[in-house]
Amino acid sequence: MCRWHKHAVKQAATDPAIGEFDVGKYALGLTAMALFRIEQTEWQMPELFEIDGFNPEELLTDEAKQAFERSKLQRPLAEIETSLEDNIDLMRGALEATALQCDLTKEGLNITDNVTKDGFKKSCCAPANPRENGPFLDAAVVNLFKGYDEQDRSYASGDLELISSDELIALENDPTIAEHDRPYISLLEGMRNATEIFLSQPGIKDVLKDTFKDSLAYICQTAQEDFDKGRGLTGPSDCIMCEGSKGRKPEL
């Protein structure tokens, strides 16, 4: 999944006092943030659809820089950082409030994967991959929402919304569900319910939207410095949201 989403959610799921990372809160925050995608018309940056934000070099092409300039998201970096900090605090509070109403443990959410603060680990000894969610979260962030342009759920130019419990049940027999997602559909009820409770917290949808907007601006505006200092990842983007089903580009 994109750095556009993970940058803030990772911090919101970390206790600022002791530095403890909560996998359940992270998974819930990441799922809820999937309401917002880089290709949505509101952001005016469809050219960045295939870019996950982890490799700063990909954001320094003429096309990417022109897209960001057109978006009108540019602001003083200090202002963006302050806004991000404020919104991350609000997101953290909403996650904590949700945890009082439902079970956000890995078991409670049926999370089957080894998700860490540094990324998904395919095995206990494998290195964490910051770009990867693991198959359970891949299924959640795509299939728990509706409003996509196409039935394969690879592209969303407009607003998305959380599906209902009945719609989730119907997905178990939906032929449009990708084969790699199908084993996880029956496990998503806890995540769907938790997402519904989280999104019902006062003002949280606006907080998530502002956080996504701030993250876009922050990552784009710090790309040159990150590249110059050798920060970030190398290689092409590989994200379940950026390129549909792992590299399959949609026909636009």
Spans of all domains in the chain = 3-228
With a cut of 70, say whether residue 252 has pLDDT above it.
no
pLDDT at 227: 87
Q: Determine if residue 83 is left, alpha or beta; phi over 0 gives left, psi from -120 to 50 gives alpha, anything else beta.
A: alpha
197 vs 124, higher pLDDT: 197
What's the rounded Cα separation, in Å, for the pair 194 and 183? 20
Each residue of 207-241: pLDDT tens digit? 999 999 999 999 999 989 988 888 776 665 655 55
3-state DSSP call for residue 219? Answer: helix
With a cut of 60, say whether residue 248 has pLDDT above it.
no
Look-up of token digits 């095995």:
123
Residue 189's pLDDT band, with cuts at 50, 70 and 90, is very high
Q: What's the whole-number average pLDDT of the chain?
A: 88
Over residues 112-140, the mean pLDDT reads 80
pLDDT at 194: 98
Q: What is the CA radius of gyration of the chain?
A: 17
Half-sphere exposure of 203 (CA within 13 A, CB side): 8
What are the distances in angstroms from CA 99 to CA 28, 91, 139, 168, 209?
10, 12, 22, 22, 21
Residue 250's pLDDT band, with cuts at 50, 70 and 90, is very low
pLDDT at 237: 61
Residue 117's pLDDT band, with cuts at 50, 70 and 90, is confident
With a cut of 90, say whether residue 128 has pLDDT above it.
no
25 vs 6, higher pLDDT: 25
pLDDT at 246: 39
pTM for the model? 0.89
With a cut of 50, say whether residue 60 has pLDDT above it.
yes
pLDDT at 230: 84
Tokens of 130: 């910051």
Residue 132's pLDDT band, with cuts at 50, 70 and 90, is confident
pLDDT at 115: 84
Tokens of 85: 């900090």
What are the distances in angstroms from CA 155 to CA 10, 34, 134, 248, 252?
24, 12, 20, 11, 9
Quickly list DSSP for 1-21: --HHHHHHHHHHTB-TTT--B
